[in-house]
Every structure is written in structure tokens, then in C-alpha cells.
Structure 1
Amino acid sequence: MQNARVYSYLRFSDPKQAAGSSIARQVEYAQRWAGDRGLPLDESLSLRDEGLSAYHQHHVKQGALGVFLRAAEDGHIAPGSILIVEGLDRLSRAEPIQAQAQLAQIINAGITVVTASDGKEYNRERLKSQPMDLVYSLLVMIRAHEESDTKSKRVKAAIRRQCEGWLAGTWRGVIRVGKDPIWLRLDGSTWSFVPERATAVRRLIELYRLGEGSIRIAERLNAEGLILFPSKSTPPSSLYRILHNPALIGTRELTLDGEVWALPNYYPALLSEVEYAELQSLLGQRLRRKGKGDIPGVLTGMRILRCGYCGQAIVGQNSMGRRKADGTLNDGHRRLLCVGYSGVGEPCPVKGGVSVVPVENALMRYCADQFNLSALLSGPDTDTPQRLQLASIRNVAAETERQLQRITDALMADTDQTPLVFVRKARELETALSNQRAEIQRLEYHLASTTPSTMPAAAEAWAALVEGVASLNYDARLQARQLVADTFERIVVYHRGMTPREDDGRHIDLVLIPKGRQPRMLRINRKTGAWNAGEDVAPM
């Protein structure tokens, strides 16, 4: 009892209630109560919850009352102490059985609860001598819960009508429930961007698209002075919630009794619908993140790279302990290994690994060439019929050339007695071949002219990263990683060539399989990094 203190707890579900006289009245009551009993009024522990609901238990989950309950449970509040509240409804408006359990938790810690509105005291001795006070407290809690429950149902019904009116186009207004996006503010009935926070959100999205993880994004935002939250640095845990928030395209989402309401055009949009859809697609691809390490993998860690000999995954291995004085690594210390060879998966029939450097350099330079990239990314929905037609006519022309060659050989072998039918057939084949070549040229021109307008920009994007990838520039490698993930469904590596021999390891064969397109092949000189492009290969 010698360390017992008086604590005063204040709570308002609506901060506007603080403007009334109840605060002054309760503070005065607590001071008088403490003075009459010769106990100190503790003002070091702030027990004030403004805008926190006792019906939804926000004051316990995230407020001062929760702190007090934990302190009491841990024995940091001396037995014999007093907790003064205006009424039991300030303490809890939860279901009666839960509210009574919270009251019992305080009392069982040796603390007396005093209600300033009626002067009642609740502790073990008093409830033992006057058990009807326990019944009275339960009745107060039942009434408090019913009041809040009725109010909650009315509020939800009003919000539901507003949502229905918004979707029907018959109502436009502000729905005053829940939290609004941190990058917007409400001026009367008009939403507007908070400039510095909108800039921070745009930067957040930009960094995420480049492949940065949440911790590094938060560090960069803080370093650049872009603060999303008032008076504090950006916590990494909150970033993904922002990226998922449909308010980025102006849609407000509300959940009422498990039912989700999506209200389009409620807020001003920060992104277009296409940009938001692309962002959500990125969020669903966890393997696009850079992973661990100081050198982001351009090809590995995304389940794209596969071994051509056994079909298992290929992983990257950087020997960071062998860094040179300038912090870089020799090419041979950055390698690609099949998991079957590294001992993780089933044994791979072809042993060994290969430096990732020639593979990265060849792929980057191949995609940086506009002609190669155009062929690689010809869209299946717009040019597949023409590409199939072109391939068919090329095959027909090749067969025509073979027939013409056979007739020409026969004519040259027997010039004295040349059958007239051979001459006539040769002329027919020449005419047919001329027409076929003209059609091939027409289709090739059509395909070139219908290549999407974004292609040059895409080739330039690859080209701009070639040197940065080679020099291990962190940001350049992250951007290249995203280009690889966006472009390729799979890349198959034959680190000793498609037909390996023990005495021949000069070449690396790659089969590039773009998303929904025809596979292509690259043959790379493993020492010089020089490459040759192969013809289209059969789908794998």
C-alpha cells in the first residue's frame, strides 16, 4: 500500500468529445479523491485514449488502457492503487462477458476501480461484502454494449446506403469512416494530393518496379528526404500496404460485416488503371525481388534459368570472399551451377559450371539490338498469322529452289538433247520462285511495319543497361533483372553446348523462350563472350 497511487483514465470514441467539460470534471474528481485519502495522483503514465473505440477494443489493442492492463498483469502497478474512470462504459463497451473479464483482470491485480459519475468503488473486499455491485456492474456493461451495438448497426446501415448510392450514381459525398490514404487530404468536400507525400508514393512505386525490396526502399526514401508519414521515417512494413491500396487508382474499399464495397473514382487517381494492374502483377511475383547479396542476379533467382541437360534449376554462386582490392570479382568467381551438380537436386549428367559473365553479356547485347528484339518479341496476337504464313512460304520457296536446282543439274548434264519439257518446267519454277520471293518480301515488310511502337524504347532500355550490368552497377542490374523477368518465360542453358563432349567446352548454348513467343537460340564463346544467333527452334 505504501507505493499505491491514483491513476485517472480518460477515453473518448470521438475526439470532439474532449471539447466538453467531462475532462476537467474527472481531473478535479481524481485530484480531490487522491487528496482526501492522502495518495499521490500519478501523472507520469498517460492514460488518455481519444478517438479509440471501446466497442471495437481499439483502446485495449492500441491504446493507453492496453498499456495499463499489461502493466498491471506484469506487476508494475502497486496493489492498492486506484483507477478512476468516469463510468464503466469508458472502461469497455465490449460484449458483457469480455467487459467483465477486463474489470476482473484489474481487480485481481489488487487495483480498485472508482467510477466518478456515481462514486462506486469496485475491489475484491467490497464485491465480497456487497455482491450485488457485481450484478450492477454487469447490467451497466450490458446496457453500454447494447447502446454501442445499436449505434454500430445504424452507422453501418447508413454507410451501406451511401455505398449503394455511390455505385448507382445517385449520391456523392464523403463517407466518414475508416482511414483515408496518407497522400490525400480533404478540404471541405474536395480531395487533393499532399504534394510531398504523393511524390514519395510515386518514388516508392518507381523503386519497387526496379526490383528494390521494402527495407532498401525505406532507406532510400529516408535518405532522399521523402517522408510518407508525419514526423517519422518510413517503416518498411507499411510499404506493401500502400502498393496494394486500390486508392492509387481512386477506388475506395470498405468492408462492412465481411462484405467488401469498392467505390470507383472516390479519390483522385495517382496511377492509371493499366499502371496499377501492372503493379499488382509485380506484387504477385515474389521471385522478381533481387534476393540477398551485394550483386543482384540478372538471370538467377526467378525460376527462369534451367539446365538443358537435366531440366533442373540453375543457381548463381558468387565467391564474395575472393574479392579483389577494388571490391570486384574475377569473372570466374561468379558462376552458374545446375542444382543437380551442386548436390541439391538429382545428379546432372553433365558436370561443371560456367561463368555467368559471358551469358549475361551475350543476352544483354542480343536484346539491345533492335532487329533481334523485334524478332524475339513479335506479338502472338497481332502477327502470329503473318509469321506462320511467312514460315510456310519460306518452306515452299526452299522446296521450289531444290526442284529448280535438280532440273538445272539435269539440263547441264545433257546439253545436247535437252527435253523441251525440262525447259518449260524450269521456266515455271523460276516464275513461281520469283512470286514466292516477292511474297516473302511483302510479309517481311508488313511484319517490320507492324512491330509495336514500344519496341525501339524497349531495345534502348536494354542497350542503356549493358555497361552497367557488366560493371556490376547495383541499380542497372536490378533494372536488367526486371527486363529479363518481363521478357522471358524460360532460358535454357547448355553450359558445354547442346552436344557436349569431354574435350569440347568452348561454347555455351542458350535457348531463349520469350513469353508466348517462338524460342530462339544463342551460341556463345565461353572465353570471349562473342555470340551467334541461331534460327528459330522448336517450342520446348
Structure 2
Amino acid sequence: MRPKAYSYIRFSTPEQARGDSKRRQLAAAREYAIKENLDLVEEAGHIFLDEGVSAYKGKNRSDASNLKLFLDYVASGKIEKGSYLLIESLDRISREDVAAALPRFLDLLNADIVVVTLSDSMVYRKNPDLGSLVYSIVQMGRANAESVQKGDRIAKVWRNKQVLAREEKRPLGRACPYWLEYKEGRYCVIEDRANVVRRVFELTTQGYGQIQIMKLFNWEEVPVFGSASRNKSRLWGKSSIAKILSNRSVIGEYQPTGLIDGIRVTLGEPVKDYYPAIVDENVFYAASAARQQRAVTQSTKQAANFNVWSKVAICTKCRSPMHLVNKGPSPKGGRYLRCSAGVKGKCDNRSVRLDYAEEMFKEILAKLNSSSLVEDTRKQKDQKLAETKGRIVAAEKKLAELVSLVEEAPSVMLATLIQKKESELDDLKSLLEEEKISSSMQEVIDKGEFFDRLDVMSYEGRYAANLYLQRLDIKVAIKNDSKEIMFVAIRKEMPQFGILKVMANAPIYIPLGIESLKAVINQEDVTSLAVPYSKERLFEVLNKVSPEAALKVEAQGVDRLAKIPLDAEIKEKLLESFGLGSQKERT
């Protein structure tokens, strides 16, 4: 019976794939097999081919390589001892240095595999003679030296290109983002692909996650980027969406990189306005902030009806998150907010019916003066906030990279860059606080109109309202003692206002600061106002504004304002009496 022979073919570049490399190596194997009367196995799964795989760093030995598959077949006995491995030359197996390459070569021989190099007709067997061994070492040394020299030449050429790119913004060549093409010495936008990229960012800022965008694109059969050899399924993947969202080339930046001790690192600051920008910076950073928010809250767009209380509602008693639970169909069932610790028997706070809670959610938005949610400028204001958050995320990431580099190789230059980045980060955080305050200070005057225009029905509207509260760092502590439910809005551990809901009765508003008191008065909710001031102060104000109302309150003996006709003049007097300034002054 003739000995079996197997061919191993490897080439490392796309140009070799398009050329004659594969046919040439396979033809040489067939010719040798005929000449030496070997049975060349060419059935599926037994032609070992590594396309586009380099042997310089041993990548052709990775778990995904066909050389590794051949070695596994040898180890398992699927390939018999005494079989032949036909290769063009020893550099097909390895271009690593001799110390790394020689043991792997000897492992093949010790497994009783006969290695044949077709270019020089050398045959290597188990226990090779000294001459053959020395010859193989020389060939391995030559292959490694060629790879080192080639790598150095390419690195020098690439470094020169990077210098010219930074100093003159000269194009690097055809290597560019998928939505661009290199034509007549410059980069041009491929509009069809650029529109796909823009849509990825738009969907992300609307609350869609990478998996949802991936599924949507595959369902719509949106053409994928890249060649069929890189993406054989021709389908979008989650990683494809993630790479687009993190690629600063979309805003025109080019970030030079290089290898330091085998690790790819960024080299210097990015080159701005290098590529044609296809996405506005504010959209890029808004999407970055949305991704960060999703990562923190772990929110997904699986449900058709987004939970507006997600990451906002907490239990007053134990400070645990309040989660949405479904107790089955009405009338006994329904959807509720329940303390997460209560589920485990660690808290006795009662559940709150979701319809009551969502009614109070709208009231909370009104008292927080969330008019930006319904104003025509809402998107611009939200994007400005998101842009600043995105810049903070990018600055923190860059700072972490610089700190990591200075720990490995301390230098004055890196220390200066760290100091500069820390200062930039402090400025961005201050700006974010100013924008949060500015965003939340648009007063809601007509609450009825605000509720009419507020969208808490659609997914996008509910997501936007929830995200608005999260961006303001608002938590709402909820307590249900069966007779009444208390909702307290808290920002940075400081209570802002409370709303008391006594079943079917109108809510009672408890302002705990100037802004919330102004909101109650402006929105004409003084008929249900519980003022946390002394009785003397209350009557002092009421007597100035409406002696009739003061008499009614005194007769009832409660610290709650009775019904008073709240015309514009009385509203102005109330604001002035509490030292809040008139509406006219604010406008």
C-alpha cells in the first residue's frame, strides 16, 4: 500500500490569494506525489490551507489554523505514522526565530511524519542526520531574517506615511474606512455606506442597542461592509455595529498607532479633519453617552413598553431598587412596582400599582420643569448633554491609556499629557453640571399643555423621559403604607420635593426647595399644597395675598392651602411673597 501524503499550503497576503500561490503549491505537491508513488489525499478536510495567515508570529499555529488541525490529526492518530507532509519550503511552517521554530519542526519528525520541502527536494525524517539538521536550521534562520527585514522596511515606510499624514494630512493610500474610497489622491465618501453609518448613530441615540440594530439591518437586508472572504455569512454582527460606533474616523479623525513590545498603542493625539466627516461630533458623543448609559443600566429594547421607572425608583425604607412585576390579569392581578429586597422577604414596603406610579411620574416631570422633553429644542438640548457626557467618556479612556503608558515607561512628556487631560476632564465635568442645571430650569407654566404634549406612550418617548431623570441624577424614593403613597424626588442625596397620593384623591404637593415651590405655584397646584413652613409664615403670606383664603385655612385649622381663585395677579403676589420673584421678571 502506498504511503499517504498531505499538502500544507500557506500564504499571508491578499495579493498572493489573488495570484498563483495556491495553484503553484498544490501543483508541486501533486507532481512530487506522482514521482515518488505517494497517495496524495485531496478529499474535503484533508487539504490543509491557511489563506492570509502569517507564520512570522506563529499565527498559523493558532487553534483556528489548518496547520494546528493537521497536528491534531497526527496526535489523534487520524493521520497515520509514516505519512508525508508536502510543503513548498520550511518557511511555510514557520518564520519565527530558530529557537521557536526548531522544536515545532522536530515535533513533526518525532511523530513519524516525513516532511518534504518541494522547492529544494529535501526530505526530513525522524532522527535526521547532522547535515540535514544543520541545513534545516540555516533555512529557518534565513526565513526569520527575511521576515524581520521585511517587517522593518514596512514599519519604516508606514512611520513615514504617518508623519506625512500628521504634518501634511497626506492620504495613507487605499487603506481607509469602509465608507470611504481612495480616488485621484484623495478620500471620497461612498454615500450609500455613509448613510448606513449615520443610521447606526441615529438608532443608538434613540435607545436601540447593538443587537437590535444588527437584527434590524439583517431583516432589512442592508448590505454589509467588507469582502466576502472576511464576512462569509454576509450578515451584520454585533461587533460590526460596535466598531462603527467607536470609530472616530466618522468625525474625520485619524489616530496613528504602532506596536510597542508587541502591543498596539496609540501614538500621539489624533489628527483632526483628516478624513471627510460623515457624522457630526455632537451626534458621535451623544451615541457614546447612550452606549455608556445602556452599559450602566443594562437596559435593552426587548420590551415594547419601556419601564419609565427603570434605575430611578428606589424603596424609601431600605433604598433597594423598585422593580416592575406582573401579578397576572386584572382585576386581582396587574403590574406593580415592588421593592427588590421585598421579593426576598427583606423589606415590608408594599407594592405600588403601576397606573398610580405612572400618573405620579408625569407629575414629577412637571415639578422638575422638564419642558425640554416637549420643546422643539429638546433634541438639541439632550444632544448637548449627551455630547458632553460622551466627551467625558472619551477623555477618561484616553487618560487611562496615558496612565498605563507612564506606569510602563515614565517620561516628562507623558506626565505633561496626563496633567493636560486631567484639566480637560475637570472642565468637562463642570460644563456637564452647568448644562444639567440649564436643561432642568425651563419652567412648566401650563401643566395641562405640558401633559398633552408629553410622550409617555411610545417606546422612544418613555425612554427619553427616563433618561432625562437619570441624566439629572434623580432618584425617586417610594413608600406605600396601604393608606397613602409617598413619592420623594432626590438629587444627590438631597430631597427636592414630595408628592403624597391618597388613593383616588388628588395628589398633595410638598415642596422642599425654592424651585419646587415655584413650580407648584406656576402650575396652579396650590389647592393641594402642603407647605413645610411654620404656620406663622404661612398666614403671613396668605394675609398679604388673599385674606379670604387665610380665614378659610384658619377655620379648618390645617397647614394646607384651601381653594383660592388663582388668577395671574394672585400668582404674582404669591411668588413675590415667598421671595421668589415675579414671572414677569423671569421672562
TM-score, with length taken from structure 1: 0.68
Letter in 2 for 1:210: Q
Which residue in the other structure is 2:159 paired with?
160
Q: 1:484 to 1:292 in 2, by over 3 A?
A: same
1:211 to partner: Cα distance: 3.0
Q: Structure 1: which 5+ residue stretches go unaligned?
A: 380-446, 469-473, 497-501
Which residue in the other structure is 1:467 paired with?
457
Q: Which digits, 9 at most, give the CA deviation of each residue in 1:452-497, with x for residues without a partner?
A: 79x99xx9899453223xxxxx5554444434433x303222323x
Letter in 2 for 1:223: W
CA distance in 2, matches of 1:314, 1:295: 22
Q: Which digits, 9 at most, give the CA deviation of each residue in 1:140-187, with x for residues without a partner?
A: 2222112212221232233223223322x235121566xx43333333
SS at match of 1:495: strand
1:372 to partner: Cα distance: 5.0
Q: Contact between 1:511 and 1:522, CA under 8 Å: does it hold in 2? A: yes
Coordinate RMSD, CA, aligned: 4.2
Which residue in the other structure is 2:387 paired with?
none
Q: Which digits, 9 at most, give the CA deviation of each residue in 1:498-539, with x for residues without a partner?
A: xxxx5x6233323153x89x9642525364596455435389
Q: 1:131 to 1:41 in 2, by over 3 A?
A: same
CA distance in 2, matches of 1:296, 1:75: 58
Which residue in the other structure is 2:240 paired with?
238
SS at match of 2:54: coil
Which residue in the other structure is 1:334 paired with?
335
Which residue in the other structure is 1:218 paired with?
214
1:510 and 2:488 are equivalent in the alignment: yes
1:205 to partner: Cα distance: 2.5
Which residue in the other structure is 1:42 paired with?
42
CA distance in 2, matches of 1:188, 1:70: 49
Letter in 2 for 1:367: L
CA distance in 2, matches of 1:461, 1:51: 61
SS at match of 2:86: strand
1:73 to partner: Cα distance: 4.2
Q: Contact between 2:498 and 2:512, CA under 8 Å: does it hold in 1? A: no
Which residue in the other structure is 2:266 paired with?
260
CA distance in 2, matches of 1:244, 1:190: 24
CA distance in 1, matches of 2:332, 2:273: 53
Letter in 1 for 2:6: V
Letter in 1 for 2:258: L
Match of 1:316 among 316, 319, 323: 323
Q: 1:464 to 1:140 in 2, by over 3 A?
A: farther
SS at match of 1:252: coil
CA distance in 1, matches of 2:77, 2:244: 39
1:32 to partner: Cα distance: 1.6
CA distance in 2, matches of 1:69, 1:478: 54
1:228 and 2:224 are equivalent in the alignment: yes
1:63 to partner: Cα distance: 4.7
Q: Contact between 2:82 and 2:114, CA under 8 Å: does it hold in 1? A: yes
Q: Which digits, 9 at most, give the CA deviation of each residue in 1:304-347, with x for residues without a partner?
A: 4333333x222313237x2x4xxxx7796322233443338xx5
Q: Structure 2: which 5+ residue stretches go unaligned?
A: 229-233, 382-436, 516-587
Letter in 1 for 2:320: A
SS at match of 2:455: helix
TM-score, with length taken from structure 2: 0.63
Q: Contact between 2:325 and 2:338, CA under 8 Å: does it hold in 1? A: no
CA distance in 2, matches of 1:521, 1:242: 42
Q: 1:375 to 1:78 in 2, by over 3 A?
A: closer
Q: Which digits, 9 at most, give the CA deviation of each residue in 1:44-103, with x for residues without a partner?
A: 345444443221334444554344444444444343333222211122212323323432
1:82 and 2:103 are equivalent in the alignment: no
Which residue in the other structure is 2:499 paired with?
523
Which residue in the other structure is 1:170 paired with?
168
1:21 to partner: Cα distance: 6.0
CA distance in 2, matches of 1:372, 1:17: 61
Q: Which digits, 9 at most, give the CA deviation of each residue in 1:412-444, with x for residues without a partner?
A: xxxxxxxxxxxxxxxxxxxxxxxxxxxxxxxxx
Q: Which digits, 9 at most, give the CA deviation of each residue in 1:220-279, with x for residues without a partner?
A: 221122233455111223332322222222223343123413333332223222222232
Identity value in percent: 25
Q: 1:135 to 1:484 in 2, by over 3 A?
A: farther
Q: Contact between 1:6 and 1:40, CA under 8 Å: does it hold in 2? A: yes
Which residue in the other structure is 1:31 paired with?
30
Q: Contact between 1:212 and 1:289, CA under 8 Å: does it hold in 2? A: no
Match of 2:95 among 93, 112, 118: 93
Which residue in the other structure is 1:363 paired with?
361
Task: Output aligned runs, 1:377-388, within 5 Å.
Answer: none
Letter in 1 for 2:325: N
Q: 1:15 to 1:528 in 2, by over 3 A?
A: same
CA distance in 2, matches of 1:277, 1:331: 46
Q: 1:141 to 1:256 in 2, by over 3 A?
A: same
Q: Contact between 1:521 and 1:535, CA under 8 Å: does it hold in 2? A: yes
Q: Contact between 1:10 and 1:48, CA under 8 Å: does it hold in 2? A: yes
Q: Contact between 2:2 and 2:39, CA under 8 Å: does it hold in 1? A: no
CA distance in 2, matches of 1:249, 1:243: 11
Letter in 2 for 1:491: K
SS at match of 1:277: helix
Q: Contact between 2:484 and 2:503, CA under 8 Å: does it hold in 1? A: yes
CA distance in 1, matches of 2:211, 2:279: 23
CA distance in 2, matches of 1:462, 1:117: 82
Q: 1:184 to 1:19 in 2, by over 3 A?
A: closer
Q: Contact between 1:512 and 1:520, CA under 8 Å: does it hold in 2? A: yes
CA distance in 2, matches of 1:318, 1:68: 55
Q: 1:6 to 1:376 in 2, by over 3 A?
A: closer
Larger Rg belongs to: 1
1:120 to partner: Cα distance: 0.8
CA distance in 2, matches of 1:188, 1:110: 56
Q: Contact between 2:326 and 2:335, CA under 8 Å: does it hold in 1? A: yes
CA distance in 2, matches of 1:369, 1:341: 29
Letter in 2 for 1:137: S
Q: Contact between 1:174 and 1:189, CA under 8 Å: does it hold in 2? A: no
Q: Which deviates more from structure 2 when the two are superposed, residues 351-360 or residues 15-24?
A: 15-24
Which residue in the other structure is 1:535 paired with?
511
